[in-house]
Structure 1
Amino acid sequence: MVIDLQAYKDNKARTPKPAVRRIPVFERVFVKDGKLIGETAKGTQLIIKDYAKEDSNGEKGDC
């Protein structure tokens, strides 16, 4: 198997790289209706894990 390293380097150089990764930091974490929800400082709520969805599939939750 022959690999053209120059083509690989050129392709990698053309691919844009994200400069900054954003990781949400939650002010508050709570459980509501079988969902683990995180709330940011701006009030945005994100579902971290949906335990009700796992139970309907017959799987056990992490708890």
Structure 2
Amino acid sequence: MTCTHMTTQPLRKHSSIEHTEKVFKPEPFKTLALYLFHKTVEMGKRMFQPPSKDIHKFVAKKWKKEDE
């Protein structure tokens, strides 16, 4: 997982460390959650490659069975 805020150089300067803290301290959990959410969505898209019509048919069949 690469982060746009991290540089390849070691953090020697105090200002750059402060910058990283400002970026990561406020809401690390929110950022991580968003990252994981996007990954899950990407995986979901790959898994459900068939067109949405098929999913609608599948759901419709299930509902019909429940109604009977």
Between Structure 1 and Structure 2, which shows a larger proportion of helix residues? 2
Bigger Rg over Cα: 2
Same fold (TM over 0.5): no
TM-score where L is the length of structure 2 = 0.30
Between Structure 1 and Structure 2, which shows a larger proportion of strand residues? 1
